Amino acid sequence: MHSLAQHPRRFVAIDTEAGPPPNRGSRLVTNTAEIDFANAHVYAIPMRTRFRGITVREGMVFEGPAGWGEFCPFPEYDDEEAAGWLATAVEQCTTEWPTPVRDRIPINCTIPAVGPERAHQIASGSGCRTAKIKVADHPDSLAEDLARVAAVRDALGPGGAIRVDANAVWDVDQAVTAIASLDKAADGLEYVEQPCRIIEELAQVRRRVSVRIAADESIRRAADPLRVAVAGAADVAVLKCTPLGGVRRALRVAEAAGLPCVISSALETSVGLGAQLALAGALPTLDLACGLGTLSLLTGDLVDEPESLRPVDGFLPVPHTPRVPDPALLAAYAVTDPDRVVWWRDRLRRVRAVLANQSIMD
């Protein structure tokens, strides 16, 4: 395997004449023969604060002829859902990204379920003018959520934008009540992300509140994200390139959704985050800040400074070269438990088999 430095990635225009995207059930034809799966690195990076119920971020990175890819589905995802994550990593390793139409991406800071003082510190020190705040972390969290939102409003001032993410835990009535209170605490929310689980519930909430609704899980966890009908249920589409199966497929999902889009990370290292930024860079229109500043949630990265994708003054650059893991950091964050390494390698083997029977990439 040659060093990635010998294979600089070029950008190519997306083929808009390629016809409709394939259905998930048809066979995927993609060449993975040159990907170095056998020498995939399994990493574990502690998080600064518990987020999405985890305190350590785990995944794998491996090299192919066009660069490095990152495979990091969360442990609770089954092999079929994890296939989208692997498809993105394969795309990173083997395929050039579409031509970007912008050089940098405005981002939001991400506020975990922390106390108001810490929330204020994160927002005020981020350099961002938009904050995404985790809410509904537990059933009785509303009072904590309101204090956190108010603290972030104080940190950002009246000109900052505040969005909240409930990760689909409310029912319709709970969502309507909570959104009214949170909107008041924020002195105006930009939007509420995935307040309820299913499309029909989002549509009901949208009819009953004045705050914009964003769909995330309803799109990326749908049986067919290219055909899920979100236009009547949401005002914003939150897209995560990594679970959707790659940059090109995510661009098609964005087009099919027909809504303003926000690109959000899946808690990747800089290796995987590059694909998310490639997607944000290639979107024809991008009017909202993206949720790609999530390296701040991790205590480390696989890519050394200054190549790691950390924001400056509220923006991230669209990378024109792939991010290469640093050997010392791969060693520092390598999983040392042999049983856990076996778990990840077995998972990669199974998901590769699933991917061979799906068509979720070009």
The catalytically annotated residue of 134, 148, 153, 323 is 134
Q: Are 311 and 282 in contact (CB under 8 A)?
A: no
Q: What angle do CA 272, 275, 280 make, to 5 degrees?
A: 135
Pick from 87, 98, 95: nearest CA to 251? 98
Q: Does residue 337 have a known ligand-binding role?
A: no
Contacts of 292 (CB under 8 A, 6+ apart): 105, 107, 263, 264, 265, 273, 276, 277, 280, 309, 311, 316
* Residue from 319, 317, 265, 269 nearest 291 by CA: 265
Annotation says 184 is catalytic: no
CA 172 to chain centroid, in Å, comes to: 25
Burial class (CB in 10 A: 0-12, 13-18, 19+), 164: buried
Beta bridge partner(s), residue 69 = 62
Number of C-beta neighbours around residue 348 at 10 A: 19
Given 41, 240, 248, 252, the catalytic residue:
240
Helix (H) or strand (E) run with residue 197 in it: none
Calculate the CA 187 to chain-centre distance. 27
- Rounded CA-CA distance 115/346 in Å is 39
C-alpha 19: how far from chain center = 27
53 within 8 A of 66, measured Cβ to Cβ:
no
Q: Are strands 315-317 and 104-106 parallel, antiparallel or unpaired?
A: antiparallel
Task: Tell me whether residue 216 is annotated as binding.
Answer: yes
- Cα(74)–Cα(10) distance, integer angstroms: 30
Listed in sequence order, the residues at least 6 apart from 126 whose beta carbon sits closer than 8 Å to its beta carbon are 109, 293, 296, 311, 314
Is 304 assigned to a binding site?
Answer: no
What residue ranges in the chain does DSSP mark as E strands?
41-51, 54-64, 67-71, 104-106, 109-111, 130-134, 161-165, 191-193, 213-215, 236-239, 261-263, 315-317
Catalytic residue positions, numbered: 134, 240
Binding residue numbers for Mg(2+): 165, 193, 216
